[in-house]
Amino acid sequence: MSSATQLDLKGLKCPLPVLKTRKALTRLNAGDRLTVLTTDPMAEIDIPHFCSENGHELLEAERLDGGHRFVLAKGA
């Protein structure tokens, strides 16, 4: 059974959003979902790249007023 977690990284600048996302994913099981909220403009590039390089699935990427919301599924 998969679970969902939210990680609020608003106000953090590169590279902290990716580093904290990586750390949060280590505590999850394969298939679990992680929603990441950011305000760093570089996260729009960094989070999808991190997912593709590390075997995680980017399920959603959405621009919000002043930030982004990403939904990831942890890879195997």
Show which residues are catalytic. 14
Residue 51 near residue 21 (C-beta atoms within 8 A): no
4-9 and 33-38: which strand pairing? parallel
Read off the DSSP letter of residue 28.
S
For CA atoms 21, 22, 27, 33, the dihedral sign is positive
